[in-house]
Structure 1
Amino acid sequence: MLSRMYQFGPHTITESQVFFKSKYSLGLVNLKPITPGHVLVISRRVVPRLRDLNTEEATDMMLSAQKIGNVVEKQYQCTSLTNVIQDGPQAGQTVPHVHMHVIPRKVGDWANNDDIYDELAEKNKIRVDNEERMPRSEQEMKQEADMLRPFFEDNNT
């Protein structure tokens, strides 16, 4: 059986990385998460900026992020979430496809709370303990998506 493919800007995303589907949005695991449980909510339609979404798409993306965030917060035992849309290249957007980061947060995860934005903006260049953060394997991403998918079975369309 052929796996369905989705576009995330210029990148092809396999069905195995998608854990949430709504009429206008997808939830997918992140190739280089900055915390465990850092996931993305993307529009199904490939458009670069938030302003390019119509009202239904924008509403659906926010409601999808809310549903996804509720599950992520429980499953990753965090106490808060950082929800971020980097809207355009000067805002740190590296993939020209509107998307929201849903990032689990815990007390003390960054010494200065706003340092998360520096790490997010530099996520492709960040070094942790002097080592570059490597992309996860397809199998690692599939395992996380498989763990999250059952929480959205009633929603996935």
Structure 2
Amino acid sequence: MLKFGQHVIQQSCVFWESKLSFAFVNIKPVLPGHVLVSPKRIVPSFTNLSPEENVDLFKGAQQLASLLKTHYKTESLTLVVQDGVDAGQSVHHVHIHLMPRQAGDFANNDDIYGEIERVDSTTSEIRSEMEMESEAMIYKELVKEMGITS
């Protein structure tokens, strides 16, 4: 079990870990494959990451972006870091949203940002733990198959 701000992330929902970072499935995904990558240390702002955490976090995000592109058969991915309340950050712990994109998934590509905020503000779109565990298992297998290391 890992902490994500004020939340506890069950190990069954985590599909990748390094010494300093971890990736987990999103409880309220905007699109299929929408996952989060975060440092293990609770750090509220991107500017407070240590150089080692920054490298580890983005190295993991880059490797996992390749995994998601392959799995979802796409060449496009949206990465989002919301740093601070005024930027839309709802959990005060640095994290990168990785979202595979498909042609036409939004009428206007930038509508995804409003959708992130809309989904964050609702409680009705929360997935079950079983659904999240099932998705995490798929990604864990892909991490192994693709040889993604920490």
Could you state the TM-score of these two structures normalised by the residue count of structure 2?
0.93
SS at match of 1:20: strand
- Identity between Structure 1 and Structure 2 (%): 44
User: Equivalent residue for 2:73?
Assistant: 77
Q: Deviations over 1:78-98 (max 9, x none)?
A: 230000100111000000000
Structure 1 contact 32–133 (Cα < 8 Å) conserved? no
Q: Flag structure 2 segments of 5+ consecutive residues without an equivalent.
A: none
For the aligned residue pairs, the C-alpha RMSD in angstroms reads 1.5
- Measure, in 1, the Cα distance between the counterparts of 2:77 and 2:36: 13
In the comparison of the two structures, how many residue pairs are matched? 148
SS at match of 2:108: coil
Structure 1 contact 46–98 (Cα < 8 Å) conserved? yes
User: Equivalent residue for 1:117?
Assistant: 113
- Measure, in 2, the Cα distance between the counterparts of 1:48 and 1:75: 31
Could you state the TM-score of these two structures normalised by the residue count of structure 1?
0.89
Within-5 A mapping of 1:34-53: 34-53=30-49
Q: Deviations over 1:67-118 (max 9, x none)?
A: 1110111112223000010011100000000000000101111111111111
Structure 1 contact 32–123 (Cα < 8 Å) conserved? yes
Question: Which of the pair is proportionally richer in helix?
Answer: 2
Matched, 1:147 2:145: no
Q: Flag structure 1 segments of 5+ consecutive residues without an equivalent.
A: 127-131
User: Relative to 1, partners in 2 of residues 1:156 and 1:138: Cα closer, same or farther, differing over 3 Å?
Assistant: farther
